[in-house]
Amino acid sequence: MPQAPRQASPVFLDCTADRFVPFRHFWILTIMQVINDTPMSVVSQVAAATVSAQPLLVIENVSKVYPTPTGAYTVLENVNLSVREGEFICVIGHSGCGKTTLLNMVSGFSKPTTGSVRVNGKEVKEPGPDRMVVFQGYALLPWLTAFENIFLAVDAVHPDRPYSEKAAIVKENLALVGLADAADKKPPQLSGGMKQRVAIARALAIRPEVLILDEPFGALDAITKEELQEELLKIWNDHKCTVLMITHDIDEALFLADRLVMMTNGPAANVGEILEIPFPRPRDRARIMEDPEFYHLRNYALDFLYNRFAHDDE
Amino acid sequence: MTAGTLSNRKIASDNAFLKALIRNVVPPIVAVLIFCVIWQLFSTDTFPGPVQVIQDAFSAEDGPPLINPFHVGGAEDYWGTVFNAVVRGTGDTNIGLFWLVMSSLKRVAIGYSFAALIGVALGILVGVNNLLYRALDPIFQFLRVVPPLAWVPISLAALQMNEPAALFVIFITAIWPILINTAVGVKQIPSDYNNVAKVLRLSKQKYFFKVLIPATVPYIFTGLRIGIGLAWLAIIAAEIVMSGVPGIGFFIWDEYQNNYITGIIIALLYIGATGLILDRLVAWIGTKVSPA
Ligand SMILES: Nc1ncnc2c1ncn2[C@@H]1O[C@H](COP(=O)(O)OP(=O)(O)OP(=O)(O)O)[C@@H](O)[C@H]1O
Ligand SMILES: [Mg+2]
């Protein structure tokens, strides 16, 4: 509950004043509401959060330049972002603006041209299981069953534990995504939603510090998508891992995230604005949809994407 | 009621089976018959037609090795001759075609096994190492298109003996498609799978058995299938040039030298059938072994 106001302050810091004008009064409203509920704790929370919390993930002055036949192509320029432990961050932006590029530098698949990405104060140099990725195309090995796919990951992270313990972890995580019965099925026998569940279970089973999801629900139908969003949120609530997730869906981001990172258009994209999403947790979709604030935030994000940073391809 | 519908259904399915049989079996039979008629029409004194071939094959004088695939001439000990021909690759060259095919197949088995083992191993090595791939791929592409027959003189010159030379020709003919397909298979491993391996920091061994091999097996078997076809092609070519060994390739050449066309035609049927069986066998193993 107190999470929402605690995160109110960075918004004011992150945003330039002129961009922020239409947005400010929501914030005051939200803060007022919460203060009315729990006046004392909020004030202390804000102070504590801004002073003590050392961010888990720091992206500092990161630029990424790809050499191309027609010259250097700057995808990202001067991207800054700090993520605290346990935060749920969604990243939104037009196709091709560099979201995957940014997350690839967090997962370690590519290196920033300049600047640095640090997790727990340590520079990210290569991929590792502490920053587990749920890939856009599931990336399950089709010749292994759901169980074996997850087991491969658990076994890689805990090579010295006995088989029975590892198997128990696998089963527990399969049950967590509601797939206990599909343990022995291979990916070709699973539906898209089930495959994504297995991929999420695999990622969760190794207890990463940062969970990175690249448009995990993009290919799913609306109902499955909502189901999975709720499952992901529940799991995140229980495990409190830090989540970095790319999405194209504003509603999804508003439902899931603590903060929504909105990227400007490429080339040389960066973080345009960061929207704080104050809905209390645990979140309930129906209640959020009734909240007028939801529509304010939604319109604000839509305005950002379709007016201020409209795609100028056509 | 139930019995009635059951038997009705059985009749229906019998009918369907019969129909499928007619659809699939009758056309090729008709095609073969038409082919034989045309062949008969074009036959001459020097090139016998089907009727002549059948007559010759059943004649007492030339018949036995052609008609009886297990024939062994002369009075000597039967199994001794077979053993010499098939296992040692020496001795009587005028034995039943089954044994001649076996004798050739033994050479193919040896040369092809080496080609498969070394081809797959080298293919993986070249596939995982970009520098090696860039260095060697053009050479492989070049060697791949050298016809089997072109290897015969050089391997004879190098090895001096018929048998090892024949094995080498098979090996060198069959290895390229196996090697190249394996390397391509390794290169084609979806980057998603490699990324999973990287993020999990899979050990080399785990990566090899859980990712690389399963992802590459279909490519390996494509290579093995092309390879077995070429190996069979090569043994015929090799035996034709290396005279005096019992084997179907030498047999066909010997028949030609003696101007005995019937033998050539019958040997041709054996060669085709064997090639087809080998191809299907490797394809079948491929479907059994291929994951998912
Ligand atoms: N290896 C590369 N070499 C050159 N340019 C690249 C490379 N990888 C990505 N790019 C370019 O960088 C830009 C950003 O790509 P990226 O995949 O990060 O976009 P994205 O925001 O994830 O898009 P989408 O929403 O469609 O997934 C694109 O214009 C792309 O063409
Ligand atoms: Mg992307």
Q: Examine residue B60 and state whether it is found in any structural domain, yes or no.
A: no
Q: Per-residue pLDDT tens for B128-143?
A: 999 999 999 999 999 9
- The C-alpha of B141 sits at a distance from chain A's nearest C-alpha, in angstroms, of 28
Distance CA A170, CA A151 (A): 6
φ, ψ dihedrals at A68, nearest 5°: -130, 165
Domain extent at residue B204:
78-289
* Partner-chain residue, chosen from A135, A139, A143, that has the shortest CB–CB distance to B292: A143
Bridge partners, residue A78, by sequence: none
Stronger pLDDT, A44 or B68, i.e. the higher one:
B68
pLDDT band at B259 (very low <50, low <70, confident <90, very high): confident
Dihedral sign, Cα of residue B168, residue B171, residue B174, residue B178:
negative
Q: What percent of chain A has pLDDT over 90?
A: 52
pLDDT above 60 (res A7): no
Which of A49-58, A158-167, A239-248, B162-171: highest mean pLDDT? A158-167
Distance CA A213, CA A199 (A): 10
Q: Per-residue pLDDT tens for B97-108?
A: 898 899 999 999
DSSP assigned state of B72: B
Which of A33-37, A302-306, B14-18, B227-231: highest mean pLDDT? B227-231
pLDDT band at B58 (very low <50, low <70, confident <90, very high): confident
Angle between helices B97-128 and B248-257 (to 10 degrees): 130
Mutate to test the interface with A, among B194, B196, B210, B217 (most CBs of A within 10 A): B196
Q: Is the domain of B118 the same as that of B215?
A: yes
Q: Is B280 on the interface with A (CB under 8 A)?
A: no
Tokens of A245: 């997730």
Tokens of A242: 């830090």
pLDDT above 80 (res B14): no
Q: pLDDT at position A190, please?
A: 93
User: Cα angle vertex B251, ends B246, B255, to 5°?
Assistant: 145
Q: pLDDT at position B240, please?
A: 82
Q: pLDDT at position B31, please?
A: 94
Stronger pLDDT, A31 or A231, i.e. the higher one:
A231
Tokens of B66: 């052609």
φ, ψ dihedrals at B95, nearest 5°: -115, 175
Over residues B145-157, mean pLDDT? 88
pLDDT above 80 (res A31): no
Q: Examine residue B51 and state whether it is found in any structural domain, yes or no.
A: no
Q: Is B192 on the interface with A (CB under 8 A)?
A: yes
Contact A157, A209 (CB under 8 A): no
pLDDT above 90 (res A37): no
Q: For chain B, how many structural domains are there in total?
A: 2
- Alpha-carbon dihedral of residues B72, B74, B75, B78, nearest 10 degrees? -20
pLDDT band at A183 (very low <50, low <70, confident <90, very high): very high
Give the residue from B117, B130, B136, B149 showing the smallest Cα distance to B223.
B117
Q: Per-residue pLDDT tens for A68-88?
A: 999 899 999 999 999 999 999
pLDDT-wise least confident of A12-16, A167-171, B34-38: A12-16
Over residues A170-193, mean pLDDT? 91
pLDDT above 70 (res A17): no
Angle between helices B261-289 and B97-128 (to 10 degrees): 40
Residues 150-169 of A with CB under 8 A from B: 152-153, 155-157, 159
- Assign residue B173 the CATH number of its domain: 1.10.3720.10
Residues 187-226 of A with CB under 8 A from B: 187-188, 206
Q: pLDDT at position B237, please?
A: 84
Q: CA A161 from chain center: how many Å?
A: 30
Q: Is the domain of B82 the same as that of B223?
A: yes
Q: Examine residue B269 and state whether it is found in any structural domain, yes or no.
A: yes
> Which ligand lies nearest to the CA atom of residue A99 in the structure?
1
Q: Examine residue B155 and state whether it is found in any structural domain, yes or no.
A: yes
The number of the ligand 1 atom at minimal distance from the alpha carbon of A99 is: 21
Dihedral sign, Cα of residue B108, residue B114, residue B120, residue B122:
negative
- Mean pLDDT, chain B, as a whole number? 87
Q: Is the domain of B204 the same as that of B88?
A: yes
Distance CA B268, CA B52 (A): 16
Report the SS3 class of residue A34.
Answer: helix
The number of the ligand 1 atom at minimal distance from the alpha carbon of A64 is: 12
Residue contacts between A and B (CB atoms, under 8 Å): 56
Tokens of A94: 């037009």
Indicate the pairing of strand A88-92 with strand A271-276: unpaired
pLDDT above 60 (res A8): no
Q: Is the domain of B271 the same as that of B157?
A: yes
Q: Examine residue B72 and state whether it is found in any structural domain, yes or no.
A: no
pLDDT above 60 (res A32): no
Q: Is the domain of B37 the same as that of B138?
A: no
pLDDT band at B60 (very low <50, low <70, confident <90, very high): low
Q: Examine residue B279 and state whether it is found in any structural domain, yes or no.
A: yes
Stronger pLDDT, B74 or B87, i.e. the higher one:
B87
Stronger pLDDT, A25 or B163, i.e. the higher one:
B163
Q: pLDDT at position A50, please?
A: 42
- Mean pLDDT, chain A, as a whole number? 82
pLDDT-wise least confident of A230-244, B63-77, B155-169: B63-77
Q: Examine residue B70 and state whether it is found in any structural domain, yes or no.
A: no
Tokens of A151: 């087991």
Q: Is the domain of B28 the same as that of B107?
A: no
Q: pLDDT at position B122, please?
A: 95
Contact A305, A40 (CB under 8 A): no
* Partner-chain residue, chosen from A143, A153, A155, that has the shortest CB–CB distance to B291: A143
pLDDT above 90 (res B246): no
pLDDT band at A306 (very low <50, low <70, confident <90, very high): confident
Contact B99, B246 (CB under 8 A): yes
Q: Of the residues A62, A64, A65, A66, which should be mutated to test ligand 1's pocket, given the most ligand atoms within 8 Å of the CB? A: A66
- The C-alpha of B205 sits at a distance from chain A's nearest C-alpha, in angstroms, of 11
Is-cis flag, bond preceding A267, omega within 30?
yes
pLDDT band at B244 (very low <50, low <70, confident <90, very high): confident
pLDDT above 70 (res A256): yes
Q: Per-residue pLDDT tens for B178-225?
A: 999 999 999 999 999 999 999 999 999 999 999 999 999 999 999 999
Contact A209, A176 (CB under 8 A): no
Question: How many CA atoms are closer than 13 Å to the CA of A1, on its beta-carbon side?
Answer: 8
Q: Is the domain of B142 the same as that of B238?
A: yes
Q: Examine residue B204 and state whether it is found in any structural domain, yes or no.
A: yes
The number of the ligand 1 atom at minimal distance from the alpha carbon of A97 is: 21
Q: Per-residue pLDDT tens for A88-109?
A: 999 999 988 999 999 999 999 9
Q: pLDDT at position B245, please?
A: 80
pLDDT above 60 (res A42): no
Q: Is the domain of B23 the same as that of B148?
A: no
φ, ψ dihedrals at A162, nearest 5°: -65, 155
Distance CA B156, CA B166 (A): 8
Tokens of A292: 């007028």
pLDDT above 90 (res B59): no
ipTM, two decimals: 0.77
Contact A261, A102 (CB under 8 A): no
Q: pLDDT at position A12, please?
A: 38
Contacts of B235 (CB under 8 A, 6+ apart): B104, B107, B108, B111, B166, B169, B170, B247, B249
Q: Is A282 on the interface with B (CB under 8 A)?
A: no
pLDDT band at B75 (very low <50, low <70, confident <90, very high): low
- Altogether, the residues listed in chain B come to a count of 292
Q: Is the domain of B240 the same as that of B161?
A: yes
Q: Is the domain of B82 the same as that of B38?
A: no
Contact B210 A152 (CB under 8 A): yes
Q: Per-residue pLDDT tens for B15-26?
A: 888 888 888 888
Q: Is the domain of B16 the same as that of B126?
A: no
Q: Is the domain of B107 the same as that of B33?
A: no
Q: pLDDT at position A105, please?
A: 94
